[in-house]
Amino acid sequence: MKTKWASISIVGMGYVGICTAATFASRGIRTIGIDIDQARVEQIRRGKAPLHEPQLDSMLKNVVRKKLLDATSDISVAVHTDVTFLTVGTPSQPDGSIDLSYIKNATEDLGNLLREKRGYHLVVVKSTVVPGTTNGVVKRFLEQSSRKTIGSELGLCANPEFLKEGTAISDALHPDKIVIGSDDKKSASELAKLYRRFYGAQLPPVILTSPEAAELVKYASNAFLATKVSFINTIANIAEQIPGVDVGTIAEAIGLDPRIGGLFLKAGPGYGGSCLRKDLQALINYSQNKNYDPILFRATEEANEQQANRVVDMAEKLLGSLSSKRVAVLGLAFKKDTDDIREAASIRVINQLKNRGARVVAYDPMAIPNTRRHLSEQIDYADNVQSALKGADCAIIMTEWDQFRQLAAKDFQAYMNNTNIVDARRILDPKHYAHLNYVTIGMGPSIA
Ligand code: UDX
């Protein structure tokens, strides 16, 4: 290992980039993070996480102090490393396809720098890109700008990332698999070597395949997860019609079948987050451009959209009309333990509530600043649960925060104008709410 320079560089200090950088460094692999955002770079250099993720802050502090991780906005340092990971964003475009401009810019900049480099350099595409991107535009840009071809001096792999927000660090330290896509043996074996160094005896299964297959693994994975959620939400909506049936029991029972599996079967208001919807839309757009209409995934998305409307329908049914009613939305984040509201079901629900004339007040322990940036003053924001509930005609639980789980029926009774409760996350115990106007997703009417 070179002592002066980092072994690996990572371009794009977003969610995936920074968690990957911190975990590589934590295993003693000298790492440099690169980002055009100077403020973010400075923050990382001070050992402060620029985003909320459990364990990230302490890990960053530690690796920065040990000089295993550094950050810069100058991409030219990448040339002194052995491997460069591209973790830049691939945002959605209006037609669902992904915007490759960050990938193209980073690849071109890197290629220009590699032109003068003597010795081998491996480029790894970790950003989520549709099949054919690594072997197409990335390879073309890299070879053209470096004036080298993939082979003895230049390597190229696709290596998707599967980490989840909220557990990103432990996911990165204990992945269930590593997928390496490459058309040339040397690239694949160099990357596998790096991962062997990272994981040692704990190396997970390594799937060696083509770049296109590696890219599709990522989309297939997220399409499956999204479909699993829309599936259980569909069963939940059917269960609601059947006296004495609770979708939780159905999920528990079917989950015991190893072919189905018990995870990702929680019925709720629909999936959100930065990946599932974006990736599904990109996959749909990609397939349609190949003259195949993936109707299953369109239905997954459609069911997800409608699930938010169903939550609002439940509130409307309890109240008769939503016009001028005060509705407290408890939870804005797309899941607990994050301040992220990207594609959150809460936003779809709030928009519907507004369309139907409700006055919305929202509370979330972390996500209010992000929501304020997104919705500005279209709704009211409360400082705590109690003030959100104060004078409310209805409360809708949209995120499964632990503090909402701990609420008791009397907390609602003490503050609300009318105790109408829609538990869209199924976190309260219906037994304790039988005396209130309580409804939850996936629960049929009780048998008298
Ligand atoms: C997801 C993938 O899980 C991850 O592998 C990928 O790399 C990025 O996208 P993330 O967006 O962090 O990760 O969230 P995840 O925990 O997968 O949850 C996604 C959404 O589905 C959330 O809104 C969550 O509340 C919802 N969900 C999840 C359910 O409604 N029910 C479930 O049973 C599971």
**DSSP states of 269-301:** S---SSSHHHHHHHHHHHHHHTT---HHHHHHH
At residue 356, does pLDDT exceed 60? yes
At residue 191, does pLDDT exceed 70? yes
pLDDT at position 448, please? Answer: 65
Q: Region 141-146: what's the mean pLDDT?
A: 98
Q: Region 123-149: what's the mean pLDDT?
A: 98
**Residue ID of nearest Cα to ligand 1 atom 34:** 264
Cβ(334) – ligand 1 distance below 6 Å: yes
Instruction: Place 273 in a pLDDT band, splitting at 50, 70 and 90.
Output: very high
What percentage of residues in the chain have a pLDDT greater than 70? 98
**Residue ID of nearest Cα to ligand 1 atom 21:** 271
Catalytic residue check, 394: no
Instruction: Place 52 in a pLDDT band, splitting at 50, 70 and 90.
Output: confident
> What interhelical angle do 211-239 and 247-255 show, nearest 10?
140
How far away, in angstroms, is 226 Cα from ligand 1 center? Answer: 8
Tokens encoding 299: 């239905």
Identity of residue 130: V
How far away, in angstroms, is 265 Cα from ligand 1 center? Answer: 11
Cβ(425) – ligand 1 distance below 6 Å: no
Contacts of 308 (CB under 8 A, 6+ apart): 269, 270, 345, 348, 349, 352
Q: Region 269-285: what's the mean pLDDT?
A: 97
Q: Region 290-307: what's the mean pLDDT?
A: 98
Give the Cα separation of 101 and 9 in Å (integer). Answer: 20
Reduced to 3 states (helix: H, G, I; strand: E, B; else coil), residue 167 is coil
At residue 3, does pLDDT exceed 50? no
At residue 391, does pLDDT exceed 80? yes
How far away, in angstroms, is 273 Cα from ligand 1 center? Answer: 7
Cβ(275) – ligand 1 distance below 6 Å: yes
At residue 4, does pLDDT exceed 80? no
How far away, in angstroms, is 271 Cα from ligand 1 center? Answer: 7
Give the Cα separation of 205 and 192 in Å (integer). Answer: 11
At residue 120, does pLDDT exceed 60? yes
Give the Cα separation of 281 and 233 in Å (integer). Answer: 19
Cβ(264) – ligand 1 distance below 6 Å: yes
Averaged pLDDT score across all residues of the chain: 96
The closest-lying atom of ligand 1 relative to the alpha carbon of residue 273 is 11
Cα maximum dimension of the chain: 80
Q: Which among 92, 178, 225, 280 is the best mutation to test ligand 1's pocket, defined by most ligand atoms within 8 Å of the CB?
A: 225
At residue 42, does pLDDT exceed 80? yes
**Residue ID of nearest Cα to ligand 1 atom 17:** 164
Give the Cα separation of 439 and 433 in Å (integer). Answer: 9
Cβ(225) – ligand 1 distance below 6 Å: yes
367-390: pLDDT as tens digits: 999 999 999 999 999 999 999 999
Cβ atoms of residues 75 and 110 within 8 Å: yes
205-216: pLDDT as tens digits: 999 999 999 999
Instruction: Place 1 in a pLDDT band, splitting at 50, 70 and 90.
Output: very low
Q: What are phi and psi for residue 206, nearest 5 degrees? A: -110, 120
Instruction: Place 6 in a pLDDT band, splitting at 50, 70 and 90.
Output: low
Per the residue annotation, which of 19, 157, 275, 394 is the catalytic one?
Answer: 275
Cβ(164) – ligand 1 distance below 6 Å: yes
The closest-lying atom of ligand 1 relative to the alpha carbon of residue 279 is 9
Q: Region 70-94: what's the mean pLDDT?
A: 97
- Listed as own residue / partner, the contacts of 378-386 with beta carbons closer than 8 Å and 24 or more positions apart are 378/350, 378/354, 379/329, 379/350, 379/354, 382/328, 385/330, 385/411, 386/411, 386/414, 386/415
The closest-lying atom of ligand 1 relative to the alpha carbon of residue 345 is 23
Cβ(247) – ligand 1 distance below 6 Å: no
Q: Which among 276, 304, 398 is the best mutation to test ligand 1's pocket, defined by most ligand atoms within 8 Å of the CB?
A: 276
Cβ(335) – ligand 1 distance below 6 Å: yes
Cβ(276) – ligand 1 distance below 6 Å: yes
